[in-house]
Amino acid sequence: MLNDFSPLFQPLVIGRGAKKFKLKNRMVMPPMVTNLANSLGEVTRRMVDYYARRAQGGAGTIVVEAMDIAERVIFPRLGIFHDRFVHELDNLAAGIKENGAAAVGQIYHPGLRGRHPGPDDLSPEEIRNIIEDFGQAADRVKRAGFDGVMIHGAHGYLISSFLSPLTNQRKDEYGGDGQRRARFAADVIRAVRKVVGEDFPIFFRMNALDYLPGGCTIEDAQVTAPLAEAAGADVIAIGGGVGPMPHNPSLGNVKSYGQIVMPMYVPRGYRVDLGAKVKEKISIPLSIAGRINDPNLVREIIVSGKADLVDLGRQLIADPDFPQKIAGGRIEEIRRCIACNFCLGKRMSLGKQIQCAINPWAGREAELKEIRPADPSRKVVVIGGGIAGMEAARWLGKRGHRVSLYEKSSQLGGQICLAGLPPGKGEINTLQEFLIRQMTLWNVEVHLNHEVSAEWVGKQKPDAVVIATGGKPLMLKEISLSPEMRCLSAWEVLSRAGQKLGEKVVVLGGGFVGAEVAEFMGERKMAGEITVVEMREAIALDLEPISRELLLEKLQESGVKMITRFQIREVTADLVVGWDGGEGRRKEIPAEAVVVALGAESVSFPVERLKEAGISHHLIGDAREPRGIAEAVREGYLTGISI
């Protein structure tokens, strides 16, 4: 029956000892580094709040992020290499369990990814010591009150690099065929089992595929998983991909990293079938991770038997209440992760604390508790129905203000109506749809086709005004443009899908919008030959690295020419003329049309008039300064909770 989500809420019994362990449902939060630890690698209050909130949202199992098993420079990662960590980890486990979820702690050794010795560099004695360290770390996980331990055997860390023929060329019992390469993993599992006893669940995380030439294949994974089961694992948790190894990109690079944390260009749940192939070889439960953000997909996975548990990684950062909303029939209220990788590329990888582009209080859970109902309820006018305006309006409405939102066009969404159009970016539409539904839910009065002026606002006598008028494309200003050249903005091109622009089209500006528009034109056959020219040394530098890598690959495949370090000097009737810094010479590129993708500027609003009239106002999103979704949502939220 469609919409029957009961399979998601069926408990799952795991374990091999006399005492079994019951997971209350099939939804798992897989481990995800938050950088919320303190500088000593210890648990903080903020971290406890973050995980407790996810447990509160209804996930059956919460796996705490990778904890380092041996002392090294880990800031700001979580450590578990000393008994002193148990003290605060105890609070963390309690925070999860008190909110109804099973608490599992992941333990890992970074190996080559942390610039530590890899499989080929370790002596037998060092291997024995590391195995012992894993055992001690697992013991601490148990003593801290967790319900289970996860051994990290995926993503290119030490255990994973023992599994891979690319990084393991040992000649002893730890190297050779798949079975021998899995020996280290099996020894670690056995050591952990010995320490934690039969009744304590062990999850083993491993790759279905490394996505690296010469790395682990699905056949390797089919060898490893049953060996892990035989060694004592109770659950196999499937991931994929290998993180970057800056010292040797052939062992791990941005592309293989993108398979760990797939960007929106990758279809939802695309690793499920690979996981199912591993499941064929084992008799213990299997969980699967990778771009799963849709209740129907979760249901499909469970009902089809392709996996027993479903990992909801970024989805639970974006909306911790995903399970609870499904249980309560509030599917329409789910805020879906758009797989933009802001959390990873613009936060975690830069050593910053976790944040989410569309959930501004992720990592700041305590702030939410302080949100107060409107008192008194005020009359608020929101100008602009983009995401900044809608995010502000929904919080204002939710808190009990009387909110009217005015949008000059015929639809809500602003720029994200365009942002979701380039190939593979449709996931962004889910944010637009979510916010539109929120307008109804929180009684926001929406007025479309209504351009607001300062005079009009004055007449309404509102208590407060939110100015979210957004951005508009920046056009050629200082560069001479022949009136005979056909010239459109990237935004216009996106809204004219399918219209042929010419045989040769040059995109002026190779930020990610220019690059995406080039791909869009290619896919829709709007141009024959497409060239992107960019002043900086590379294309799409404003995009987070994983998405960028995939975008560049797609552009190369579709034959788009990219010229970097190109300074545009002039656009004539049939040429783009500029200085090619790479070749060190003046260059003329024939063009029948040019597409301007040089960024955006704010749409101004005469705030002085509001000031004169004594009306309080708040300027947010691209109207304040053109940036991106994260800033628009965050400023909308902050304004929505502060009036």
Ligand X SMILES: Cc1cc2nc3c(=O)[nH]c(=O)nc-3n(C[C@H](O)[C@H](O)[C@H](O)COP(=O)(O)OP(=O)(O)OC[C@H]3O[C@@H](n4cnc5c(N)ncnc54)[C@H](O)[C@@H]3O)c2cc1C
Residue 294: phi and psi, rounded to 5, are -130, 125
Candidate segments 144-152, 166-174, 351-359, 448-456, binder of ligand SF4 by CB under 6 A:
351-359
| Minimum distance from residue 524 beta carbon to ligand X (Å) | 14
Closest CA to 78 of 42, 32, 29, 30: 42
* Cα gap 55→70, rounded to integer Å: 28
Going residue by residue from 385 to 424, which x/- string records binding to ligand FMN, judged by CB under 6 A?
----------------------------------------
Report residue 312 as tokens. 């909801």
- Region from 51-59, 284-292, 394-402, 489-497 binding ligand FMN, contact rule CB under 6 A: 284-292
Burial 83-104 (b: 16+ CB within 10 A, else e): eebbebbbbbbbbbbebebbbb
598 vs 601: CA distance, rounded Å: 10
Q: Is 307:287 a contact under the CB 8 Å cutoff?
A: yes
Radius of gyration for the chain, computed over Cα atoms and rounded to the nearest angstrom: 27
Question: 624 is written with which tokens?
Answer: 């304040």
Q: How far is the CB of 388 from ligand X (least distance, A)?
A: 3
CB of 312 to ligand FMN, least distance (A): 6
SS3 label, residue 213: coil
The verdict on 239 binding ligand FMN (CB under 6 A) reads: yes
**Number of other CB atoms surrounding residue 523 within 10 Å:** 14
Minimum distance of ligand FMN from residue 10's CB (angstroms): 21
Please, are residues 550 and 258 in contact by the beta-carbon 8 Å criterion? yes
The contact pattern for ligand X, residues 365-394, with x = CB under 6 A and - = no contact, is ------------------xxxxxxx-----
383: which 2 tokens?
């100008």
643 binding ligand FMN? (CB under 6 A): no
- Exactly one of 256, 315, 355, 359 binds ligand FMN (CB under 6 A); that residue is 315
Partner whose binding site includes residue 356, from ligand X, ligand SF4, ligand FMN, none (CB under 5 to 8 Å by kind): ligand SF4
65 binds ligand FMN (CB under 6 A): yes
- What is the C-alpha separation between 504 and 502, in angstroms, rounded? 6
Shortest distance in whole angstroms from residue 414 CB to ligand SF4? 18
Among 311, 319, 321, 592, binds ligand FMN (CB under 6 A): 311
Helix (H, G, I), strand (E, B) or coil at 108: strand
Instruction: State which of residues 34, 253, 341, 547 lies at the interface with ligand SF4 (CB under 6 A).
Output: 341
Does 160 contact ligand X by CB under 6 A? no
Shortest spacing between CB 428 and ligand FMN, in angstroms: 16
Binding part of the chain for ligand SF4, among 127-135, 157-165, 314-322, 441-449 by CB under 6 A, reads: 314-322
Measured CA distances, 560 to 66, 423, 458, 506 (Å)? 40, 14, 50, 10
Burial class (CB in 10 A: 0-12, 13-18, 19+), 436: middle
Q: Which is nearer to ligand SF4, 153 or 621 (CB)?
A: 621
User: Is residue 314 at the binding interface for ligand FMN, with CB under 6 A as the rule?
Assistant: yes
Residue nearer to ligand FMN on the CB measure, 241 or 420: 241
Binders in 152-171 for ligand FMN, by CB under 6 A: 152, 154-155
Instruction: Compute the least distance from the CB of residue 156 to ligand X, in Å.
Output: 27
Task: Report the C-alpha gap between 475 and 490 in whole angstroms.
Answer: 10
389 binds, among ligand SF4, ligand X, ligand FMN, none (CB under 5 to 8 A by kind): ligand X
Instruction: Report DSSP letters for 3-36, one per residue.
Output: T--GGGG--EEE-SSSS-EEESSSEEE-------
Q: Which residue's entry shows tokens 């101004």?
A: 604
The answer for residues whose C-beta is within 8 angstroms of residue 336's C-beta and 6 or more apart is 293, 294, 315, 318, 319, 427, 430, 431, 434
Q: Is 337 in the site for ligand SF4 (CB under 6 A)?
A: yes
Of 406, 442, 566, 637, the one binding ligand X by CB under 6 A = 406
Listed as own residue / partner, the contacts of 612-616 with beta carbons closer than 8 Å and 24 or more positions apart are 613/458, 615/457, 615/458, 615/462, 615/464, 615/465, 616/463, 616/464, 616/465, 616/643
Q: Which is nearer to ligand SF4, 337 or 405 (CB)?
A: 337
On the CB side of 443, CA atoms within 13 Å amount to 10
Does 519 bind ligand X (CB under 6 A)? Our answer is no
Per CB under 6 A, 31 contacts ligand FMN = yes
Q: How many residues at the interface with ligand X, by CB under 6 A?
A: 35
Binding mask 459-498 for ligand SF4 (x = CB under 6 A): ----------------------------------------
Coil, strand or helix: which one is 586? Answer: strand
Q: What is the contact mask toward ligand X in residues 339 to 368, using x (rule: CB under 6 A)?
A: -x----------------------------
> Using the rule CB under 6 A, is 427 a contact of ligand FMN?
no
Q: Confirm or reject binding of residue 57 to ligand FMN (CB under 6 A).
A: no
CA–CA gap between residue 270 and residue 288 (Å, rounded): 10
- The catalytic site residues sit at 157
Binding site for ligand SF4 (CB under 6 A): 314, 317-318, 337-343, 356-358
Contact residues: ligand FMN, CB under 6 A: 30-33, 65-66, 106, 152, 154-155, 205, 239, 260-261, 289-292, 311-315, 343-344, 348
List residues binding ligand X (CB under 6 A): 340, 383-389, 406-409, 414-416, 418-419, 451-452, 468-471, 491, 494, 513, 603, 621-623, 627-630, 632
